[in-house]
Chains A and B, each alone.
Chain A
Amino acid sequence: MVSIALPKRPVSPTGVWGWITTVDHKRIGVLYGVSALVFFVLAGIEALVMRMQLAEADSDLISTDAYNALFTMHGTTMIFMVIMPLGAAFFNFLIPLMIGARDVAFPRLNAFSYWLFIFGAILMNISFFNSSAPDAGWFAYAPLTSNAFSGSSGVDYWILGLQVLGIGTLSAGFNFVITILNLRAPGMTLMRMPIFAWMTLIISFLIIFAFPVITVAITLLLFDRFFGTNFYSTAAGADPLLWQHLFWVFGHPEVYILILPAMGIISDILPTFTRKPLFGYTTIVLAGAVIAFLGFGVWAHHMFTVGLGGWAISAFAVSTMGIAVPTGVKIFNWLATLYGGSITFKTPMLFTIGFISMFLLGGLSGVMHAIVPVDTQQSDTYFIVAHFHYVLFGGSVFGLTAGLYYWFPKITGRMMSETLGKVHFWLMLIGFNLTFFPMHFLGVLGMPRRIYTYSGDQGWEGINQLVSAGSFVVALAVLIMLLNILRSMRAGQPAGQNPWGAPTLEWSIPSPPPHYNFAVVPTVRSLYPLWNEDGETVNPPDLPYVDESSIHMPSPSYWPLVVAAAITIAAGALLIWQWHSWTGYLVISLSGFLGIYSIYRWVFEPITATESIEAGVHH
């Protein structure tokens, strides 16, 4: 073995090195959350610039190329770098706590997932500094993405960034399926899991089945662009609908990957603030599974106007309407949970109510799109933009925000400010509706999506001004949220173990939880282990004293980071290869060697650093 002076394996590092080498699911969760908030601000700024441009007819504030890059990156960022990682932040932090485990099944793989996500996201955003940000839309329809029509390297950055990030997401999918199926505490049967754990299990399966499709679709595009193949080349006779089918077979389940975590979050928040069990727990679990299952059979509703023929369109119209049934059942069950309750209106509950009402509106406009003849007037207009913002912002973002206020005390040990929280909620609700409700009217008045300008005689200017004004109210609300987070981290009221009197397992341990989570692995006897039969919070039983140092936890490791970096550099090297082939070959070979070497080191690295020291002593 060649002896290379490698940094020593950290045992219990502190500071930045501690975060970089962490394999602790809670720290990884925080990393996901903080990264997602940074990208949330970035995507928000992109949206505000677009709204400034559209506030005026015939505006020339920004160029069409800038506008196209902004809407492409706003969509891509919000989906892959904000909502998905925010969901990941919660399921990383919470799943082991909720099911009574000390970590996920594969802690180093978990770190690897995070590093791939952040490196992929950075790789894609570097394109802004190369003045060639992706500008073919987040949907990247062929043949506009071919070299002939998109000559700059923007689409290349998009492909490579998404590919890198996708490997991380897939790894996380496998990790959480295995964690949830195998690491549950004694007595934690599947039907005693919190709904959020259920929804995480379901979206992990969705990731495993949906992400390979986009990986293949993007790999074909990569070959078209880099190596001259003709999968999507219409000049060589390809039918560009191939891309659309592949993209939406991934793209529609992706929508449920974005919304189901939020549904899980609010299903766990509702019992706490109504002081009663969730109405129809089993039905809500089943409805989530049915939505996920049907989600693979509705992709062509994104393609109602591409010319699929009457039979296909009818079938997909009916299957799409079918989604409304389990979704409706969920909404009715949430309402029934309120019935007979003793409701308190803390900020997490306000955002939960916001979620239910805004998601309801988004769901109803979604059903309208299933009415195909009506959809021929709505698709690719601002009506669609209104619809999916009600679902993804009014739904996912409101739900995730509810989760932030609810679990912030568990994560940091401090409460967020209720006053700022209420200001945040009301500003957000007003700003959100001011921004997105009028977009329905723009759609009805015939304004297409993805246009960087419109002429004054089209009659859209007044409504656009209202929308743009609303977007700044949303921005203000987000600023207040960030202020609340920063302030509460330092000066928030100490939270204690269970500030909300909540019923689930994560509230039975200190806030923030110790690195080993549970000193003694709990035995679970009901769906709500911290509540008695009258819905009153009980203290968890006193547990025998356990010496912390006797708890076996995996040691930190930097190999997941190095492997992720090697993969990212290898991907980026394709761009170098385009510029200068031999330099490209060199970088690809070096990063390939680094990757293989680090995987080898990772695989043969003992689980804990102490073991490696002992092993050294014995030999």
Chain B
Amino acid sequence: MALHRRLGRLKLITIASMVLAVLVAGCDAPQTTFDPSSDATDKIHTLYILVIVVSGLIGTAVLIALAYLLYRFRARPGVPAKQIHGNNTLEIIWTILPILALVMVGVPTVFAIAGAQRAPSEDALHINVIGHQWWFEVEYPGLGPDGESLMTANEIHVPIGREVAIHLTSNDVIHSFWVPRLIGKTDMVPNHPNDLEVFTPKEIGVFYGQCAEFCGSAHAMMRFRVIVEPTAKFENWVEALQTAPEPSDEGTFIASGQDVFMGNCSSCHKIYGTAAQGIIGPDLTRFGSRLTLGAGILDNTSENAEAWIRNVRDLKPIPEGILGSGRPAMPTFNEVLSDAEIAAVSAYIRSQTVE
């Protein structure tokens, strides 16, 4: 009977924490940790719920005991306090009980840590992500033309159902790679390469990621996306990024944008298959199919792209001049290029899409 009642209470608290979980998941927050979409975050979520239930039970029990004791032993006239100094048996019991509770969560923790160290399987997709102040450089070794690396930035495409092994490092300060619905965070440390836990995405969609280690003035605006797509679509994307863009027709608006781009942007940015081979800023190959710009902070519209080129500092707090890494920051072009030229550059880079 007592056991039954206790189980009932356990169930109640489990239900309560599930209601909480639903409430939290119900908020429309694309970066939630409570809506796992990979095998790795699934496991984390199970542990998360276990530890919330265990600590919720303990917390509730202790708070109820506290409230009861305060009420039961409030000062009443004629009732003196019992002069109790201690009780060894009780103290031993409540030293051992927490140890048992900790074993309950500690054993699965150690197993989960061991599991997270597993080596990637043979057919895993390997990706290198390099942190920069304040964007993510993405490299797919061997997927580029002639077995070279395929390069992109701030948006990582992966096929559904295939294991992904991401290798992390940084070009300047410490950043942290985190896609809450797909994988827990691991820091991107200069001179200290880290392997992210391997994971297999199990849901198609666009997943929000964000730098989680304070990295200077634009830390809040160092975001990215992971795009999980069907294998065919992923292969098509890889194919497109390996293909030089169609040359634009002489005299068109886009062709004029290409000229301005090659004259002003190509020493820092690369577009595969063109004369633009700069490697200082993000790779802009097939930029037209990106969802966002500025490291996941703005929708990729021509208005935003033009504003970005005109004065990046209106949109993101990037210092001027040379950054700590020795690389120049994105310059401001409002005094260098006319509005028409800026519009043409935007039209040019946005015209190159993945069909």
What is A's interface to B at a CB cutoff of 8 Å?
A: 63-65, 68, 136-137, 141, 143-144, 146, 148-149, 234-235, 237-241, 274-277, 279-283, 305-307, 309-310, 313-314, 317-318, 321-322, 324-325, 328-329, 331-333, 335-336, 338-345, 353, 356-357, 360-361, 364-365, 367-368, 370-381, 441, 443-455, 457-460, 462-463, 533-535
- At the interface, yes or no: B75 with Cβ under 8 Å from chain A? yes
Nearest-CB residue, chain A, relative to B168: A307
**Which residues does chain B contribute within 8 Å of A535, judged by CB atoms?**
80-81, 83
Q: A240-B190, A318-B106 are in contact. Are A141 and B214 (CB under 8 A)?
A: yes
**Which residues does chain A contribute within 8 Å of B325, judged by CB atoms?**
148
Nearest-CB residue, chain A, relative to B322: A148
Contact A373 B113 (CB under 8 A): yes
Give Cα A310–Cα B111 distance, bound, in whole angstroms: 10
Give Cα A462–Cα B28 distance, bound, in whole angstroms: 11
Q: Name the contact of A446 in the complex, choosing from B84, B172, B180, B192 (C-beta under 8 A).
A: B180
Nearest-CB residue, chain A, relative to B28: A459
The 5 closest A-B pairs by CB, nearest first: A376-B184, A446-B31, A459-B29, A340-B82, A451-B220
A147 to chain B, nearest CB (A): 9
Give Cα A149–Cα B87 distance, bound, in whole angstroms: 58
- At the interface, yes or no: B338 with Cβ under 8 Å from chain A? no
Contact B85 A373 (CB under 8 A): no
Q: Name the contact of B84 in the complex, choosing from A276, A283, A309 (C-beta under 8 A).
A: A276
What is B's interface to A at a CB cutoff of 8 Å?
A: 24, 27-34, 41, 43-44, 47-48, 51-52, 55, 58-59, 62-63, 65-66, 69-70, 73-76, 79-87, 90-91, 94-95, 97-99, 102, 105-106, 109-110, 112-114, 116-117, 133, 172-174, 176, 178, 180, 184-187, 189-192, 194-195, 197, 208, 210-221, 297, 317, 324-326
A66 to chain B, nearest CB (A): 11
Q: A342-B81, A377-B33, A533-B83 are in contact. Are A141 and B184 (CB under 8 A)?
A: no
**Which residues does chain A contribute within 8 Å of B69, judged by CB atoms?**
335, 338-339
How many CB-defined contacts (below 8 Å) exist between A and B?
291
Additional 17 contacts, C-beta under 8 A, given A305-B176, A371-B109, A463-B27: A136-B214, A141-B214, A143-B174, A148-B326, A239-B191, A240-B174, A276-B82, A306-B187, A307-B195, A335-B66, A338-B69, A340-B84, A341-B73, A342-B76, A343-B75, A380-B214, A455-B297
Contact B213 A372 (CB under 8 A): no
Contact A343 B184 (CB under 8 A): no
Contact B83 A141 (CB under 8 A): no
Contact B214 A137 (CB under 8 A): yes
Contact A380 B176 (CB under 8 A): yes
Q: Name the contact of B47 in the complex, choosing from A238, A275, A344, A373 (C-beta under 8 A).
A: A373
**Which residues does chain A contribute within 8 Å of B218, judged by CB atoms?**
64
In the complex, 27 of the A-B residue pairs with CB atoms within 8 angstroms, ordered by the A residue number, are A64-B219, A64-B317, A136-B214, A144-B215, A234-B191, A235-B326, A277-B83, A277-B85, A305-B184, A306-B194, A310-B116, A329-B95, A338-B73, A342-B76, A342-B80, A343-B75, A353-B70, A367-B102, A370-B109, A371-B48, A371-B112, A378-B33, A379-B185, A446-B208, A447-B31, A453-B221, A458-B208
Q: Name the contact of B113 in the complex, choosing from A310, A333, A342, A448 (C-beta under 8 A).
A: A310
B92 to chain A, nearest CB (A): 10
Nearest-CB residue, chain A, relative to B190: A234
Give Cα A446–Cα B185 distance, bound, in whole angstroms: 11
Give Cα A14–Cα B341 distance, bound, in whole angstroms: 76
**Which residues does chain B contribute within 8 Å of A452, judged by CB atoms?**
220
Contact B74 A146 (CB under 8 A): no
**Which residues does chain B contribute within 8 Å of A328, judged by CB atoms?**
94-95, 97-98
Give Cα A381–Cα B211 distance, bound, in whole angstroms: 11
Contact A324 B80 (CB under 8 A): no
Contact B73 A450 (CB under 8 A): no
Contact A280 B91 (CB under 8 A): yes
Contact B219 A279 (CB under 8 A): no
Q: Name the contact of B66 in the complex, choosing from A63, A64, A353, A370 (C-beta under 8 A).
A: A353
**Which residues does chain A contribute within 8 Å of B221, judged by CB atoms?**
453
Give Cα A274–Cα B31 distance, bound, in whole angstroms: 48
B80 to chain A, nearest CB (A): 6
Contact A276 B51 (CB under 8 A): no
Q: Name the contact of A372 in the complex, choosing from B112, B187, B215 (C-beta under 8 A).
A: B112
Contact B212 A377 (CB under 8 A): no
Contact A241 B189 (CB under 8 A): yes
Contact B113 A317 (CB under 8 A): yes
Give Cα A20–Cα B77 distance, bound, in whole angstroms: 49
Give Cα A341–Cα B76 distance, bound, in whole angstroms: 10
Contact B214 A457 (CB under 8 A): no
Contact A376 B186 (CB under 8 A): yes
Q: A329-B91, A336-B90, A455-B297 are in contact. Are A376 and B29 (CB under 8 A)?
A: no
**Which residues does chain B contribute within 8 Å of A451, judged by CB atoms?**
219-220
Give Cα A408–Cα B48 distance, bound, in whole angstroms: 44
Give Cα A335–Cα B215 distance, bound, in whole angstroms: 44
Contact B47 A374 (CB under 8 A): yes
**Which residues does chain A contribute within 8 Å of B173, judged by CB atoms?**
141, 143-144, 149
Q: Name the contact of B110 in the complex, choosing from A237, A317, A368, A444 (C-beta under 8 A).
A: A317
Nearest-CB residue, chain B, relative to A277: B85
Nearest-CB residue, chain A, relative to B77: A342
**Which residues does chain A contribute within 8 Å of B63, judged by CB atoms?**
357, 360
